[in-house]
Structure 1
Amino acid sequence: MTNLMGTILYGCGISLFASFGIQRVEAKKPNILFIMTDQQRYDMLSCTGNRYVNTPSLDRLAERGVRFERNYCANPVSMPSRFAMVTGRFAGEIGYTNNSTKPDTLRVLPVVRESSVGNLFRDAGYETIYSGYPGFYCGRTNIADYGFTQNGTDYYDGPANFAESFFAGYNPKEDKPFFLYLSFMNPHDICYGAGFDPRFPEKLRPHQIAATQKYIDLRKTLSEEEYRSQIPPVPANMEPNGVYAEMKEIGSGSRNWTEEQWDFYRWMYCRLVEDVEKQIGRILTALANSGLADNTVVVFTSDHGEMGQSHGLVFKSQLLEEATRTPLLIAGPGMQKGVVDSKNLTCGIDLVPTLCDLAGISIPKGLSGKSLKPVLTGQTDRIPRDYIIVESSFGYQINDGRYKYTAFTRGDKEETLMDISSDPGEISDKSADPIYVTVKTRLRNLLMKDLKRITQNTSVSQ
């Protein structure tokens, strides 16, 4: 009898253990809400101490999670940067380092079908939906190849309108876990020159005209004192120097503007950031009101930065801090709250492995990025990384956190070496200084080793 009872209890124990095991396996997967802006520089958040922009919704998101202070895009131009964020691979791996309206589908589509985050999550049982600006290679015609169902291409109000409707109708007990990728255009509309673009207004599209005209009109409603109080100061590194002065000769964002025009440009950029932040606020409010926030990982980032008069330049493309550093906020279940990570170098290529790791999805092999989950959850304060690589149509750069070595593929200048610890404005090129020869050689060798891997199937000159 005793043996029989023991056998029964033992069997019940196995059943209970198995039952608990099944519960662990079937634990509810976290939802993913991925929010992207276009051309938002790393310091364009009021939580960074910037008093010239007001971003309350993103500040609250930062309080709920981790803000990565030393985050860089993989390429300071939209399409290659977005390709890296959605696949975990450099666009240089498929032979592209710039935007392309007619990319080779035979290069692009096999890679995105294999490793796009949309396909990875869809195959893991997620509903994967994209709303807004389809700024990928082949994105306008082949978003399904990226693993997403397209829901609208309005990239101003559209993503917020869709999110509010989606969250209101979502049933967590019946519906699949979701991966929503919401992509906004702004503050990219600063590219239309704050009214100083020679195409304005006759040669621009209606929405491009409206974006600029709105702020020309708003400026007229402000007193001179109000307006001046809202203008960020002139950057300390506004004067062109060295290789970046030469960049003007190869079609970069140089402008011969008056002081008044520059002031209006910097002011308008801040207002565009606030405009898109209000749309993001709508999304985060709808998420909170739906009761889904506790099981949703929220990611906010941008594809690249904006020069904003630094080095006398506007727009993007440059391998400089203002163009390559972007905001990265991540919050969600089981993560640290209110943490500002200033120790780790992070990059757009880290997002695929991070999101897969957070969702319990196998990370594709061969990716260059690192999972940030151990930092997000407080398991460690360091990820195993000594440097990051950033590529562009001008060249390739390695950044070890203090020194940035750049090998150029365009123009007369071959290389630069910047010490961003002592020279954060990147004014003084150390590449010809014999004191730095050991540093330069070390970084150049590491860069060439990585480039051989990244560009093994294509030409670096592309």
Structure 2
Amino acid sequence: MKGDLHMTEANREPQQRPHILFITTDELRKMTLSCYGGRSVNTPHIDAIGEKGIRFDSAYTASPWCLPSRCAMLTGQFPHNSGAYSNFRKCELSAGIPNMFQAFGGNGYQTALIGKCHFTPVPYKETRPDVTLPYDEFRDYYMSLGLDHLDLQDDKQVSVWFYDDYAKELDAAGYLEAYRRDTWDIKGKSKVFPFPGPEEWHPDSWVGRKALSYIENYDADTPLFAWVSFSGPHYPFDAPESYYDRVDMTQDEPRRVRDGELDDPQRIHYRSMHGPGNIDGAGAAPERACKNYTEAYWHELRRNYYANMAQIDDYVGQIVQAAERKFGGNVLVIFTADHGEMLGNHGIWGKNDCMYEDVWNVPLLVRYPETGGAAETAELHGVVTDARVMLTDIMATCLAAAGLPEVPGDGRDFLQSMRDGGHRYVFAEGEGFIAVSDGTLKYVQTQKDGLAYAEMFDLSNDPHEYENIVEKPEYAAPLARLRKAIIDHFMPKLLA
């Protein structure tokens, strides 16, 4: 880390408070971005946020699933504390849990979300390939969390299953039926296909256009908290063909796979590899086994994934520039992802039950307002830090930057973590899933469907996480320490 950071008193009058632009992608593997070493696609506009601010190299999601991660970002609470812990059970985020929309809206801010919410489980069992179903009650629920404005595109697949705002406009434009057809063609297209319509009607283009329009027409006299939430590059891997030439697959890193690494039935992803698996990618694979995908399939999946990020990068650049024109330097910009994506590493794709760094360690770029003194601004410009932070810290960070009262939760200000090194342990949670890491050693335990698994990895000796060391006697003491950290993590809730 460079720069000797210090905390400054942020109490400001409402008209001086910074506007906050929170930009997220869905299922973005950190190493895809060129600022984190990706070579297959250039992402100059996203990179620029870090170049003019702070790049966090050790940022971790609170969950490898969309709903619990998004609710953790919104509330600053771990899933076991907020109660929003699963994509699949009825455990939607309660409006009684304090969240950023309420905290900012109650202090003079206008609150907006453009794109994906997913703060409540989707009724997957109701979906049908021949029809798109009503979604108004979901939109009403999202508004009840404290939003003033919502343009809803609640996930690529959700938008063909249910009539969110995007689906209604896509249908009126005449492209919904083709998108629904290709998305449901699981065995034929296996979730990989070029978007079957004009580029401007792709879900991420729609979100980008809506965000631009909202910011350009916004009254800058009222402070704004805006969450721009892209659904990509989450599957289906469906980039517009016009973005394919932005990808250089000759620069793509080889998939990280070790022969036989998931052949032990005691490995969490044994069934993901050999079938019938529960990871996302197994559902589209022959015999529900990721081992049956061909190299040609992996090539097309990754090319579409990278092309989707080129598309998103273009819109991020336009959105940040629009915010600068509207608000000048008085804007806090945060870019991250709810979780990552395996993208073929270890022979699988998806994120379910994944504690691998590909999924857990997410991109995080933060650019602070340019309204402080010159020295303060310089200290926050072009900084790279390995302080361990979590996405549960976003709420505390935003409130501190705005000079607003703290809201009780599990997070802490990013600047505080940069001064003291951050969290001793980071955690990831989900239904039947818990993982803990101290940055070098990590432990994960799952229990579901009558099956229990435990794995441990030593990143210092095995950075690609091939070898499960949970049974090795020389790791007994650190294993006990990590298990105790999990107990300490849950005990305050159990005794509340």
TM-score band, normalised by shorter chain: 0.7 to 0.9
The reply on whether 1:353 has 2:374 as its aligned counterpart is no
1:362 maps to which of 376, 381, 405: 405
CA apart distance, 1:238? 7.5
Change (3 A) 1:26 1:301: closer
**Which runs of structure 2 are paired with 1:185-200 in the superposition (5 Å)?**
185-188=231-234, 191-192=235-236, 194=237
Contact 1:370/1:383 (8 A) holds in 2: no
Q: Which residue of 1 aligns with 2:208?
A: 160
Query: Partner amino acid for 1:109?
Result: A
Distance across 2 between alignment mates of 1:140 and 1:456: 35
Q: Could you list the per-position Cα deviations for residues 342-401 of structure 1 after superposition, in whole angstroms to 9, with x for gaps in the alignment?
A: 1x1111111111111111111112x111211336xxxx5324521111112342011111
The reply on whether 1:116 has 2:110 as its aligned counterpart is no
Change (3 A) 1:414 1:257: closer
TM-score with structure 2 length normalisation? 0.74
TM-score with structure 1 length normalisation? 0.79
Change (3 A) 1:364 1:238: farther
The reply on whether 1:233 has 2:254 as its aligned counterpart is yes
Query: Partner amino acid for 1:130?
Result: L
Q: Which residue of 2 aligns with 1:7?
A: none
The reply on whether 1:103 has 2:122 as its aligned counterpart is no
1:419 maps to which of 446, 458, 462: 458
SS in 1 for 2:329: helix
Distance across 2 between alignment mates of 1:170 and 1:123: 19
Contact 1:117/1:146 (8 A) holds in 2: no
SS in 1 for 2:96: helix
Change (3 A) 1:129 1:309: same
Q: Which residue of 2 aligns with 1:202?
A: none
Query: Partner amino acid for 2:348?
Result: L
Question: Which residues of structure 2 form unaligned runs of 5+?
Answer: 1-8, 122-137, 153-165, 167-202, 283-289
Q: Could you list the per-position Cα deviations for residues 46-92 of structure 1 after superposition, in whole angstroms to 9, with x for gaps in the alignment?
A: 11121112101011111111011111110011111000000011222
Contact 1:238/1:311 (8 A) holds in 2: no
SS in 2 for 1:298: strand
The reply on whether 1:181 has 2:164 as its aligned counterpart is no
Change (3 A) 1:229 1:132: same
SS in 2 for 1:151: strand
Q: Which residue of 2 aligns with 1:284?
A: 320
Distance across 2 between alignment mates of 1:218 and 1:159: 17
Contact 1:299/1:328 (8 A) holds in 2: yes
Query: Partner amino acid for 1:370?
Result: R
SS in 2 for 1:136: coil
The reply on whether 1:77 has 2:65 as its aligned counterpart is yes
Contact 1:31/1:178 (8 A) holds in 2: yes
Distance across 2 between alignment mates of 1:269 and 1:160: 17
**Which runs of structure 2 are paired with 1:7-406 in the superposition (5 Å)?**
25=13, 28-100=16-88, 103-104=90-91, 108-111=94-97, 115-137=98-120, 140-153=139-152, 154=166, 155-172=203-220, 175-188=221-234, 191-192=235-236, 194=237, 211=238, 214-215=240-241, 228-229=249-250, 231-237=252-258, 240-241=261-262, 242=264, 243-248=267-272, 249-252=276-279, 253-254=281-282, 255=290, 256-290=292-326, 292-317=327-352, 318-333=354-369, 334=372, 335=377, 336-342=380-386, 344-365=387-408, 367-374=409-416, 381-406=419-444
Contact 1:93/1:456 (8 A) holds in 2: no
Q: Which residue of 1 aligns with 2:489?
A: 450
Contact 1:45/1:59 (8 A) holds in 2: yes
SS in 1 for 2:323: helix
Counting aligned pairs with the same residue, the percent is 27
Distance across 2 between alignment mates of 1:358 and 1:64: 17
Query: Partner amino acid for 2:323?
Result: L
Structure number with bigger Rg: 1
Query: Partner amino acid for 2:139?
Result: R
Query: Partner amino acid for 2:381?
Result: K
Superposed CA RMSD? 2.7
Distance across 2 between alignment mates of 1:51 and 1:227: 8
Count of residues in Structure 1 that have an aligned counterpart in Structure 2: 397
Q: Could you list the per-position Cα deviations for residues 188-221 of structure 1 after superposition, in whole angstroms to 9, with x for gaps in the alignment?
A: 1xx23x5xxxxxxxxxxxxxxxx36x44x876x8
Change (3 A) 1:282 1:381: same
CA apart distance, 1:98? 2.1
Contact 1:398/1:405 (8 A) holds in 2: yes
Query: Partner amino acid for 1:395?
Result: F
CA apart distance, 1:294? 0.8
Change (3 A) 1:218 1:27: closer
